[in-house]
Amino acid sequence: MSEATSRPLPRHVAVIMDGNGRWAAARGLERTAGHEAGERALMDVIEGALDIGIRYLSVYAFSTENWGRPRREVEFLLGFNRALLRARRDYLNSLGVRIRRIGRRSGPPEYAELLADVLAEFDGAFEMTRSNRRLELLVCFNYGGRAELEDAAARGPIPDNLYAPDVPDVDLLIRTSGEMRLSNFLLWQAAYAELYFTDTLWPDFDRHALAAAVADYQGRERRFGALG
Ligand code: FPP
């Protein structure tokens, strides 16, 4: 084994799955087709994470800012999250994946009914998978880093009151599609994360791309502000 590959694995990998809309536009398809292609990429990345031995995988499924998209796309994304959970939870359960949602439970009143349905689906998936220990899939849904910090600070000391206080900090944060922003994702948990940006659009990302990001991470020296 080379020196680079002998460095520790990231325990917690977080992913901003960006570029679904552009992937679809490049093919003359509806944006929704891009999200559907993104589901296949996500399943492949989950299987890759299990192969590699990653313990926590956070994915940005729907942000507190996504409510501002056109109604048609918001409704699609909510229904899409629900359908994905329904279609994949048994399989993910069989792989030993614990499906856990983090984010706010409340949203804009005009979406209350649909949102309640999606949250019920998340609650069911969590109940089904709660004793699984191989991989924890943290689905950040109706999630915003600032909202999380506001909610935590209102309850007490921030680290103890994060949405998932038991989950370790993010080691490696991946964003696809060439954008180099955090976009309000896991602001507290990613304070010392290694950042990895790739031009690959999310539907084209897969387990091999994940392995490349992890290898890149293993080649870096982490100093956490000290001298190493
Ligand atoms: C960003 O592409 C992607 C999203 C807004 C949604 C991604 C969600 C999933 C793949 C499903 C996750 C669900 C569960 C239950 C795990 P974009 O629309 O911002 O693309 P663009 O920047 O090219 O327009």
Name the residue with the closest Cα to ligand 1, atom 22. Answer: 19
Burial 183-217 (b: 16+ CB within 10 A, else e): ebbbeebbeebbebbbebbbbbbbbebbeebbeeb
pLDDT given at position 4: 47
pLDDT given at position 6: 66
pLDDT given at position 1: 46
Which residues have C-beta atoms less than 6 Å from ligand 1? 17-22, 35, 38-39, 42, 59, 61, 81, 84-85, 139
Name the residue with the closest Cα to ligand 1, atom 12. Answer: 61
| pLDDT at residue 64 tops 90 | yes
| pLDDT at residue 208 tops 50 | yes
pLDDT in tens, 134-174: 999 999 999 999 999 999 999 999 999 999 999 999 999 99
Alpha helices in the chain (DSSP H): 20-25, 31-52, 71-94, 112-129, 145-155, 158-161, 207-218
pLDDT in tens, 101-118: 999 999 999 999 999 999
Whether 66 is catalytic is yes
- Could you tell me the strand order of the sheet in which 97-102 lies? 97-102, 135-143, 56-63, 12-16, 172-175, 194-197
Neighbours of 227 (CB within 10 A): 4
pLDDT given at position 72: 95
- Compute the average pLDDT of residues 34-45: 98
Q: Is 156 helix (H, G, I), strand (E, B) or coil?
A: coil
Q: How far is the CA of 133 from the centre of ligand 1 (A)?
A: 26
Residues facing 225 on adjacent strands: none
The pLDDT > 90 percentage for the chain reads: 93
Tell me which residue of 103, 164, 100 sits closest to 132, measured CA to CA: 100
Give the pLDDT band of residue 7 (cuts 50, 70, 90). confident
| pLDDT at residue 18 tops 50 | yes
Q: For the chain, how many residues are written? A: 228
